[in-house]
Each structure stands twice: as structure tokens, then as C-alpha cells.
């Protein structure tokens, strides 16, 4: 038996009542993240990636709610924790960078104030104002912000999209979290800065054993930085396993579709084939396999409910046509 995972999610269901009906944004998700590991979470927009991890941190706003499931951090069930306990965990042991840096940062405070407040709140830095300021400068430098000393006194709106993204990452790593959840952290960044930020996060993982979740719609980003990958579709995990194995020999038709829909650097002659159709309506998903209406391999039996099945070698897939 390996050690207990840092984060363990079982049977998570998160719903939003809407005028169109009950949106099942996350519908029975199981995921594990070990210390020091990077788990990639991929899937088209709307597949439930962000809501899964907003649920972990208690960031789902009412009337949205967690309907079922167990969320363990370090063995302790945190799904039902009161708001103040979750707040203590957030930014301390678990940090999350949001997809949208502008809404995640507070427009009314300078970057310095926001970093220093985070450091203070979680008491990870000894010393007075000068030491805190020095740490803030160092953090901005680490995420590749030029001239950090003069930028410290600026407000979020004075930063470009890519710079704001980096500020948010600096705040997230300020307290040396044990788990960092990075939601599309590089989408607004150019390729060089992307690599720089992902390398920094990899170094932190190696140094401190930080666990990490890298949420991305881009399998390429995940392929180069994650040990394991979970592919989400329609609020469910449809395939998971060691990244290399999943990419080299995907078992779920949706994973194959995702791979075909992006350029294959190893085989540039292969055509790029987008997945036809639309993601399912989360208020009225199709019965049985959620991918069935778009699946080129669908056949008899695909309209019956299907569970994520263990395939051995750390792999799993949610498809009746995949033999264990
Ligand atoms: N506050 C909300 N109210 C209603 N529906 C929501 C809300 N937040 C997310 N959803 C729905 O939940 C589903 C999953 O969203 P999300 O987790 O943001 O997807 P992803 O991050 O994979 O793009 C989507 O159908 C989205 O429209
Ligand atoms: Mg998202």
C-alpha cells in the first residue's frame, strides 16, 4: 500500500439550481493527488474542472451546493468544514489560482498589500514589515515580473493579463502551500513565460513535496508537466492514468478525440480532427455514457449507466467497450 494521498475526492457531486433545471456540474468525481505529484485535469470547457476544485476549497456559491461526496485533505474530511475553517485552509495549506485573475485579485488593494496580507494571515514569515516586503519582492521576481520593487505598489488593473496571472501565482505560492491547484494558469501567458512559470512550479514541487493540480484544456501543457492525468467530460472523469500511458494509448474514445483535435508534434502529417457536436446540456445529460451522442465508436450498451472502471497499472476508463 502506498501512503495516503494528500487530496482524495470520492463521489463528488456539485449542483447548481438554474431556471433550466438542476445543473449537475460535477457528477460523481473520484480523484487523488499524492504529495509531490502533479495531476493534470483536462477536458473541454464546461466539463466541470473548475467546479470540482472550487468544491474542494468551499468556493461554490449558493444556491450552488455540494450534494454528495467525500473530500479528504491529509486524511481529514474537509467537505463539510465550516466557512472559517475552510478559509484557514485556503491560501495556507491549499492554494488555488483562478482562471480569471482579474476577478480573483482585489482591485482595491495594491499587490504588496495582497501578498503581505496572505503572508500575515498564515504566519509563515517571521519578522516585521521589511521582511514581509522583501519576501513579496522575491515572490514577484520568482514568477518573472520585471522590476518587482517598483511594481509592488501598483494595483491589479495596472498589470497586463499575463502579469496579473503571475501576480496571482505569486500570492498562491506565498505561503508554500502543500497543495497548489492551478486553474488554467498559463492561458493568458506567452509560451516563454508559460514555460518559466511551469518550471518554477515544478521546482517547488521537487523542493518541498508540494502536490499540484494543473487544470488545462490543453493536453500538451499537461503532457509535459504532469505525472498523471484525469480527463473530464460532462462532469465526470472518463479516463485517468499515468500521463505518458494515457497519451500513448488512450483507452476512452473521448481522450482519443481530444488527442486528434490538437497538433501531434511527433506526427505532424496527421490531420487535426475536431470532435464533432457539443458537450452535453448539464441540466439534461443523455442517459448512459455522456459522450455517446458524439462518440464515433458508440454501439449497443452505451445507453446504460457506466462507471469508471479500474484497468490496472493505475489506469481507469468509463466506457463499456473498454475491456479491463
Ligand atoms: N455558478 C454557476 N451556476 C450555474 N452553472 C454553473 C455555475 N458555475 C459553473 N456552472 C456550470 O457547471 C458546468 C461546469 O463548469 P466548469 O467547472 O466551470 O467547467 P470547466 O472548468 O471544465 O470549463 C458548466 O456547465 C457550467 O456552465
Ligand atoms: Mg474552468
Give the cell for residue 128. Answer: 516585521
Could you tell me which of 176, 280, 241, 206 has the C-alpha nearest to residue 36? 206
Q: How many CA atoms lie within 13 A of 47 on its CB side?
A: 22
pLDDT of 206 > 50? The answer is: yes
Q: What is the widest separation between alpha-carbon atoms in the chain?
A: 68
- The residue whose grid cell reads 488554467 is 184
- The 8-class DSSP code of residue 34 comes to -
Note the pLDDT tens digit of each residue in 115-132.
Answer: 998 888 876 667 788 999
pLDDT of 1 > 50? The answer is: no
The whole-number pLDDT of residue 219 equals: 87
CATH 3.40.50.300 matches 7-79+227-317: yes
CA of 183 to the centre of ligand 2 (A): 7
Note the pLDDT tens digit of each residue in 83-125.
Answer: 888 888 887 899 998 887 777 899 999 999 999 988 888 766 6
The whole-number pLDDT of residue 31 equals: 97
CA of 181 to the centre of ligand 2 (A): 12
Note the pLDDT tens digit of each residue in 253-281.
Answer: 999 999 999 887 778 888 899 999 999 99
CA of 51 to the centre of ligand 1 (A): 6
Atom of ligand 1 nearest to the CA of 184: 21
The whole-number pLDDT of residue 123 equals: 67
| Cα→Cα distances 155→104, 111, 164, 165, 311, Å | 13, 6, 10, 13, 50
pLDDT of 3 > 70? The answer is: no
The whole-number pLDDT of residue 108 equals: 95
| Cα→Cα distances 230→117, 235, 297, Å | 34, 12, 21
| Cα→Cα distances 247→30, 80, 114, 140, 278, Å | 20, 36, 39, 34, 23
Note the pLDDT tens digit of each residue in 170-188.
Answer: 999 998 899 999 998 877 7
Query: Residues near ligand 1 with C-beta < 6 Å?
Result: 16, 18, 23, 25, 43, 45-51, 64, 282
- The 8-class DSSP code of residue 60 comes to P
Side-by-side strand order, sheet with 7-18: 21-33, 7-18, 65-73, 76-77
What average pLDDT does the segment 187-200 reach?
A: 79
Task: With 0.85 as the threshold, say if the pTM is over it.
Answer: yes
pLDDT of 241 > 70? The answer is: yes
Note the pLDDT tens digit of each residue in 130-174.
Answer: 999 999 999 999 888 999 999 999 999 999 888 888 899 999 999
Angle between helices 161-173 and 129-142 (to 10 degrees): 130
- Minimal-distance CA residue to ligand 1 atom 13: 25
What average pLDDT does the segment 290-303 reach?
A: 96
Amino acid at each position: 500500500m502506498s501512503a495516503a494521498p494528500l487530496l482524495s475526492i470520492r463521489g463528488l457531486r456539485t449542483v447548481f439550481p438554474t431556471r433550466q433545471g438542476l445543473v449537475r456540474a460535477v457528477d460523481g468525481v473520484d480523484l487523488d493527488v499524492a504529495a509531490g505529484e502533479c495531476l493534470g485535469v483536462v477536458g473541454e470547457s464546461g466539463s466541470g474542472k473548475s467546479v470540482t476544485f472550487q468544491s474542494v476549497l468551499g468556493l461554490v456559491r449558493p444556491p450552488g451546493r455540494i450534494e454528495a461526496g467525500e473530500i479528504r485533505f491529509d486524511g481529514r474530511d474537509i467537505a463539510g468544514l465550516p466557512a472559517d475553517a475552510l478559509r484557514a485552509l485556503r491560501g495556507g495549506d491549499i492554494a488555488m489560482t483562478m482562471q480569471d485573475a482579474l476577478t480573483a485579485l482585489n482591485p482595491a488593494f495594491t499587490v504588496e498589500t495582497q501578498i503581505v496580507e496572505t503572508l500575515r494571515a498564515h504566519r509563515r514569515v517571521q519578522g516585521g514589515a521589511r521582511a514581509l516586503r522583501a519576501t513579496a519582492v522575491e515572490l514577484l521576481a520568482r514568477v518573472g515580473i520585471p522590476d518587482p520593487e517598483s511594481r509592488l505598489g501598483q494595483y491589479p488593473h495596472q498589470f497586463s493579463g499575463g502579469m496579473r496571472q503571475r501576480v496571482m501565482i505569486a500570492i498562491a505560492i506565498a505561503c508554500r502551500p502543500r497543495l497548489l491547484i492551478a486553474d488554467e494558469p498559463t492561458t493568458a501567458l506567452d509560451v516563454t513565460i508559460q514555460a518559466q512559470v511551469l518550471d518554477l512550479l515544478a521546482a517547488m514541487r521537487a523542493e518541498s513535496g508540494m502536490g499540484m493540480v494543473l487544470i488545462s484544456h490543453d493536453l500538451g501543457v499537461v503532457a509535459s508537466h504532469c505525472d498523471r492525468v484525469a480527463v473530464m467530460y460532462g462532469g465526470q472523469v472518463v479516463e485517468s492514468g499515468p500521463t505518458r500511458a494515457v497519451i500513448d494509448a488512450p483507452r476512452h474514445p473521448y481522450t482519443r478525440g481530444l488527442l486528434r483535435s490538437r497538433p501531434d508534434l511527433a506526427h505532424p502529417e496527421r490531420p487535426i480532427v475536431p470532435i464533432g457536436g457539443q458537450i452535453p446540456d448539464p441540466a439534461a445529460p443523455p442517459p448512459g455514457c455522456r459522450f455517446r451522442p458524439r462518440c464515433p465508436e458508440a454501439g449497443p450498451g452505451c445507453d446504460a449507466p457506466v462507471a469508471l472502471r479500474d484497468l490496472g497499472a493505475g489506469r481507469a476508463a468509463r466506457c463499456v467497450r473498454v475491456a479491463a
